[in-house]
Structure 1
Amino acid sequence: MEITPNHDAVEAKSARPVSFGAEDATRALGRLVAHTGKAAWTFGTTFLVLVVPLIVQLHREEQLIELEKEQLGVLAQPSAGGLQAE
């Protein structure tokens, strides 16, 4: 079976120039704003649920490490009470 072009057919609708009026532009802009808002909401909520607790935990661990270093520094210092020079 061979496919041959139909010369009697009218040109396809996509061959016509597309008219894009102000009403269409307004509708498209409204949809773009709505989808952008939904994406921003999703991103913000995900950030608050997943990333903020991670940042808080990392900050706590950092403070704990600093406290441990400080305590080790105090313990490592020689005591001055028994070694007084006369």
Structure 2
Amino acid sequence: MQDLGNTQFFRVETDNNSVKMILDEVYHALTEKGYNPVNQIVGYIMSGDPTYITSYHNARSLIMKVERDELVEELLTEYIKNNGWE
């Protein structure tokens, strides 16, 4: 059983450039097909269901190459940078 009195460390080693590239390509594919890319990407991250992502321009296959926690990490990192919290 885990000791709930201590903070657990979570570390992900990723190639941020490839994650950014994949998110960019998926975002553009979703936009081109008329979807709200934020809603669709959030749906995919929350559920793990790849059908939230269009197969247009191979976007579904691309996003499945990245673990969902890596996507969250990249999105949160960019949010923090853009809000001057670093």
Q: Return the TM-score normalized by structure 2.
A: 0.28
Higher helix content, 1 or 2: 1
**Larger-Rg structure:** 1
Q: Return the TM-score normalized by structure 1.
A: 0.28
